[in-house]
Amino acid sequence: MRVHICAVGRLRKGPEKDLVDDYLTRFDRTGRGLSLGPAQVIEVDDRKGGGMSAEAALLEKALPKGATLCVLDERGTVETSPKFAKRLAGWRDGGASDLAFVIGGADGIDPALRAKAHHGLSFGKMVWPHMLVRVMLAEQLYRAASILSGGPYHRS
């Protein structure tokens, strides 16, 4: 199952980008034997300042056709890492070829796009900056692959 992180805005060179790259490399390596990954980041940029709906149109265009859609949203479901790992395995075992996570911009994700999602995932009720959400998601993907592989990274 290929994994896509579709995000509004460009992540510049720096510690957040390094962390995302590092965790996704680890995810790819750990997930290879589990039919998870590879993971790629797809960035969209609305330079005309059209707001949420313009960003949603760009995101929808960039999403792989038929992808299982998971939006990152503070109003979504808060879950443990093992539960998230189970959810990933469930999507994979249910036959999903592409899984797309969507991270919004400063105004969030357009409600019409949110309504199309198969799942809304929350990293808690607080609002985080989008670049940190990318890092957190990449880390949770690696953690989930480690849990599913029985590796020592996750200790609960």
Cβ proximity to ligand SAM: between 121 and 148 the closer is 121
- Binding region for ligand SAM (CB under 6 A): 72-74, 103-104, 106-109, 122-124, 126-130, 133
The residues, any chain, with a CB within 8 Å of residue 95's CB and separated by 6 or more, are none
The nearest distance, CB 103 to ligand SAM, in angstroms, is: 4
The nearest distance, CB 76 to ligand SAM, in angstroms, is: 6
Give exposure, 124-153, as e/b (b: 16+ Cβ within 10 Å): eeeeeebbebbbbbbbbbbbbbbbbbeeee
Cβ proximity to ligand SAM: between 127 and 150 the closer is 127
- Ranges of beta strands (E only) in 45-146 are 68-78, 98-103, 119-122
Question: Which amino acids are annotated as binding site, given as ranges?
Answer: 72, 104, 123-128
| Contact in structure between 105 and 8 (CB atoms under 8 Å) | yes
The nearest distance, CB 126 to ligand SAM, in angstroms, is: 6
Cβ proximity to ligand SAM: between 106 and 112 the closer is 106
